[in-house]
Amino acid sequence: MSRFDWTGLMRLGIRGLGLRPHEFWALTPAELTLLLGREGGQGPLNRARLEDLARAFPDRARDDNQGDV
């Protein structure tokens, strides 16, 4: 039977991600995996991906006559 590294996960969640203990323990394993950028997801957003998104969805100047949207 393999042992689960709870200490390592807690260190990553609490120190690395800045979660409070109750926030860490409220996460599902899938949510924690996603936050850590591991398996099954694309991982954290990097600069290249941000630039791709900025090109695909450019900011548009707001028309002052339309007010805040």
Q: Could you read off the pLDDT of 12-47 as tens digits, one per residue?
A: 999 999 999 999 999 988 888 888 887 655 557 789
Residue 31 placed within a domain: yes
Q: What's the average model confidence in pLDDT over 57-68? A: 71
**Among candidate residues 47, 39, 37, the one with its CA nearest the CA of residue 13:** 37
User: Which residue did the predictor score with more confidence, 68 or 15?
Assistant: 15
> What's the pLDDT at 1?
46
**Cα–Cα distance for residue pair 37/31, rounded to 1 Å:** 10
Is the pLDDT reported for residue 52 higher than 80? yes
Residue 64 placed within a domain: no
Residues 6+ apart with CB under 8 A from 16: 36
> What's the pLDDT at 64?
60
Residue 66 placed within a domain: no
Is the pLDDT reported for residue 68 higher than 70? no
Residue 69 placed within a domain: no
Number of domains in the chain: 1
Residue 41 placed within a domain: yes
Angstrom distances, CA of residue 69 to CA of 5, 53, 64, 66? 47, 21, 11, 8
Range of the domain at 35: 6-58
Residue 1 placed within a domain: no
